[in-house]
Structure 1
Amino acid sequence: MTINEIVTSKRIFKELTEKDYRYLILDSNKIKKCIHFDYVILIKHGDLQYPKKWIRYVNFKPVKGQVTPIEDYNRDDYEYIFMPDPGLSDELKSELELLGQPTDDSNRFGNFLAQLDIIPDQLLPLVKEEIKFCLKSGVEPRVIDAYEYEEKGEKTYLILDLEDNPHDFEEETTAEFQNMETVEAYELPTKDMRLYKVNDPSSSYHPEKWFIYSYADANFPYFEEIYEIENLLPYTAFKELQVK
């Protein structure tokens, strides 16, 4: 199998790792339009007075439900969607302190009522004013591309949006890999890793390159460029494959 065959119907994303880069090979059919609840609080109709029912997505690394297929999202289900402001009005601070609620920077608006079963009636107008102020930003959940896969029997989503994602994706490199010509190919006896020598027409200075192709993890196969391998190849377990 050539590199061109591997990347058919795939999209390739360059990801920064602890050591260097790798190129994730993702099935195009598993990349979906999704809603990303990026640092927002969602309040369903009738739940305003009950903070423990508020849906809080204020995590940098997405948690379950924070990314959802666009067809499963109905904006009309929610009375309020807003980005919490890091500060609190002086009036609201005073009222919260009377209730014994902390108001310092460690307990910002995203979580400041999370311990209350119900918001007292006298506090409700102030909370509405705080939400109204936050709504001025006009923030709504964003439509993004996400890769859907299963982990421990549950659907999980990897955000692919290059402008705003919790992963170190730098660019999409699908076209570059689609245009590479396979010159030589090798495989380990374990059949979970291959080695490819390719001609890369997009690189005018160093068109000859070597890539490891790892597919032990079916969800996340990847390419990784390696260097100075040619002289060492006879001392490895790789066996040459016929390239058509």
Structure 2
Amino acid sequence: MRVLLVDNDAQAASTIQRALKSNGAVLEHVETGEEAFQLAKRYDYDALVMDLMLPDTDGYEVIRRLRWSSITVPILVLSSLTRPQAKVKAFSLGADDFLARPFDESELSARIQALVRRSKGLSHSRISLGLTMLDMESNLVTVSGQTVHLTEKEYRILELLFLRSGSIVAKESFLNHLYGGNDEPDIKIIDVFVCKLRRKLAQAGAADVITTVWGRGYIVRDAVATTQPALRPPGAETGGQGMALI
């Protein structure tokens, strides 16, 4: 999960970073609304956490610009402004959630995870693909109930693929997700990570989870819900491997 934090209060930002990173989030921090807007246009984030009081503009204007630019990243507003009018204005401009300061760190993490799940069409933190299950809350991957021990980068690659199930993820997107544009290694490193990830999954009994699309990237395929038939998309075929909500 990749999060952009927009807050010019160093102490508050440090608290937020600690809370999110402890839950496995990849976090980037900027202090101005303009920086946030430019980064959100350029990169794909799973969530944006933003204070309303910024040095160059207010958070309302940033939300307005993002939504007018058709940038749909889920936005959670953090603010000391607790009056109802502040919340109503934020929601009317396109914010997805509003958390008043001071806040509990665990609640912040839970709200962001919920935002990301909803934006991906998921109702739970666990996503399964055949025998493989990924839990975004605990950052664990299991195959047939047995834990697969992945490195941090291997987990993030699999998480990105599962969240974008059915879509091809380019190698450049993986680099962006893992390194955020900072000190990025050669793009061939993604092939190395995926090779090691595939080997670990295969050893656990889940081969062929990740498919290579030559010249374009990698993909994991959609499939019907296997544990909750009522969640099966209308017209979906039964059987086969695929993404399911647990």
Relative to the length of structure 1, the TM-score reads 0.25
Structure holding more helix per residue? 2
Relative to the length of structure 2, the TM-score reads 0.25
Which of 1 and 2 has higher RCO (CA within 8 Å, sep 6+)?
A: 1
Structure holding more strand per residue? 1
